[in-house]
Structure 1
Amino acid sequence: MTNIKTIVAVSKSIDALKASEELQKQLNHPDIDFVLFYCSAVYQLDELAAAMTKCFKNIDIVGCTTAGEFTRGGCEQKSIAAIGFSSKYFTINAKQVESMENFDIVDAQNTINELTEKCRLKEFAPIKENSFLLTLIDGLSTKEEQFLQALNSATGGIPHFGGSAGDD
């Protein structure tokens, strides 16, 4: 097998299982251990989650809805765009924050500690100089600023970017 860092994939099928199978086929490489995806809001998210879990066994998957998916072919609609990351080059950890309602500095520090622990164990490189924090936030929550303020206060200077999930 070839040595890869990342692989990108896209499916234009609106059937959740077929789309997940197409993505899995395109991202199929033994070194891929994390997949980040952006999908149209036309998908039934519970069906898509079940299909992705079925197709990507033992691989962490994180994603959100969008108002357009960017691919090599340009901006798509009613599709899923994904990228798979090689464990030989990346250490990626993810956490879902169940509620932003009362998320405070203590929650933020605990979250950052949990996320960085896996990175420390792998010891690729110093975390602060070689890391970033990506957030995908519920765009309808109206709690983005409060959440981000608490989270940013706990990052210790780790660069942070992201966005609010959108709908078509």
Structure 2
Amino acid sequence: MHDTQNEGPEERLEDLARACSKTSYGCGLTVVSTDRPDAPAFAREVARTAAATGAGFALFFFSQSLVRAKDLSAAISRYAPALPHAGCSTAGEITAAGLEEGQMLAILFPAESFTIASAMIPNLSGSGMESIAAQVGALRRSLAAHTGRLSSGNAFALCLIDGLSFAEESVASAIHWGLDDIPLVGGSAGDDLRFQATTLISDGVVATDCAVVILMATDVPFHVFKTENFVPTNEKLVVTASDPNRRVVHEFNATSASEEFAHAVGVMPDALTPMSFASHPVVVRVGGEYYCRSIQKLNTDGSLSFFCAIDDGIVLSIAEPTDMVESTRSALEDVGEKVGGIDVILGFDCVLRRLDARNRQVLRDISDLYRTNNLIGFGTYGEQYRTMHLNQTLTGIAFGHRQAAE
């Protein structure tokens, strides 16, 4: 057994840094991850790797059960003070090894092929859509000043947002407004299914009730996508009493929300759990397409809290899940064709997909599928895709292999 009792602080950091896992990809991205609860050692290894790979930006995803956001942020500021970065807390992580929990990971983007500008949008509860759109527009103009014209062909935007802010729909819409035709993809921060507080970090700032927008221009082939595994049934639930500000439904079809939902899916109301909601999603039809409006939890008064916006009069359909493994495999094969072969995918995967996969005993299959397709990212409380805030969906951006210079 390795004796660490007589080690000094620097030796201890060296030892813990060796516990980090590192994976590099052809387009230049490098991922560093660890399950050790030591932010300084992790940050030091990230700093070393960033210097060795010419990284110009880092994305951090971390479990709050492993590390406090303020400790991670302080460690990054100490060991990599010149490295621009952003990140958020999670509800599970996706590393190079597949689906994991209790990890912190850094995704390093090389300055050679990615030009990046980011900004934190604070105080979402007090910000109007015009203000958010204006901040994003300023960010877009700032990046364009360094790279030339930005378009859907050479740029994309990432959004990380407080997953308990109740603001994702309006913020996604405002960000899209400020982006013009640049595609948006992202995820809502989680807190390991505690539903107490999620946290974001950005260049030394630690905050809640906020979002971080990251705008990237690149010469690496990419494709923004989404995939889900459900189809609507004829079983309808009409919201007849709700609290839209808190995303709480008190009644479906003029009956207790939990009782009506339980009856519709064939379980007893007192047996409802997060697994029940993951396995029986509800969907709403918008513009001819169905989008998931997932239930977060059962409340003590029999009401149901949702991950997405809800209001009186909305008609929801009970959805029937399809084969998650095959639908995801098919989607990733399609994505691979669009980018000429997947090099790496940055993915935002709803935590309810993970719960449903576990419930259906296909978690290992999904994890293997993510690993073989080089999908990295985190488990979310909601996903952003272009103008929409979604649930029970995998959204992401796939990168192809960088073209060799002629």
Equivalent residue runs for 1:120-139 within 5 Å: 120-123=144-147, 126-128=149-151, 129-139=153-163
1:115 to 2:176 alignment? no
The question of whether the paired residues in 2 share the 8 Å contact of 1:37 and 1:82 is answered with yes
1:69 to 2:70 alignment? no
Asked which structure has the greater RCO (Cα within 8 Å, sep 6+), the reply is: 1
Structure 1 residues 59 and 117, CA, compared in 2 at 3 Å: closer, same or farther?
farther
3-state DSSP of counterpart to 1:94:
strand
The question of whether the paired residues in 2 share the 8 Å contact of 1:12 and 1:19 is answered with no
How far, CA to CA, are the matches of 2:99 and 2:125 in structure 1? 33
How far, CA to CA, are the matches of 1:75 and 1:14 in structure 2? 18
TM-score (norm 2): 0.38
The more displaced of 141-150 and 61-70 is: 141-150
CA shift for structure 1 position 154: 2.1
How far, CA to CA, are the matches of 2:183 and 2:27 in structure 1? 25
How far, CA to CA, are the matches of 1:65 and 1:112 in structure 2? 22
3-state DSSP of counterpart to 2:116:
coil
* Aligned residue identity for 1:55: Y
* Aligned residue identity for 1:21: R
TM-score (norm 1): 0.88
The more displaced of 34-43 and 18-27 is: 18-27
The question of whether the paired residues in 2 share the 8 Å contact of 1:8 and 1:27 is answered with no
How far, CA to CA, are the matches of 2:51 and 2:87 in structure 1? 18
How far, CA to CA, are the matches of 1:120 and 1:131 in structure 2? 10
* Aligned residue identity for 1:91: T
1:106 to 2:124 alignment? no
Structure 1 residues 67 and 159, CA, compared in 2 at 3 Å: closer, same or farther?
same
Greater C-alpha radius of gyration: 2
* Aligned residue identity for 1:148: A
1:165 to 2:176 alignment? no
3-state DSSP of counterpart to 2:160:
strand
1:49 to 2:73 alignment? yes
CA shift for structure 1 position 109: 3.1
CA shift for structure 1 position 55: 1.6
CA shift for structure 1 position 5: 2.3
CA shift for structure 1 position 106: 2.6
What stretches of structure 1 of length at least 5 have no aligned partner? none
3-state DSSP of counterpart to 1:116:
helix
3-state DSSP of counterpart to 1:158:
coil
Aligned to 2:166: 142
Aligned to 1:152: 176
Q: CA RMSD in A?
A: 1.9
CA shift for structure 1 position 4: 6.8
Aligned to 1:27: 50
Structure 1 residues 75 and 28, CA, compared in 2 at 3 Å: closer, same or farther?
farther
**Whose strand proportion is higher, 1 or 2?**
2
The question of whether the paired residues in 2 share the 8 Å contact of 1:39 and 1:80 is answered with yes
The question of whether the paired residues in 1 share the 8 Å contact of 2:60 and 2:105 is answered with yes
How far, CA to CA, are the matches of 2:183 and 2:128 in structure 1? 19
Match of 1:90 among 114, 139, 142: 114
Aligned to 1:37: 60
Aligned to 2:104: 80
How far, CA to CA, are the matches of 1:159 and 1:21 in structure 2? 33
CA shift for structure 1 position 76: 2.0
Q: Deviations over 1:95-150 (max 9, x none)?
A: 11111123334313322233223422322x63113111111000011111122222
CA shift for structure 1 position 30: 5.8
Question: How many pairs align?
Answer: 165
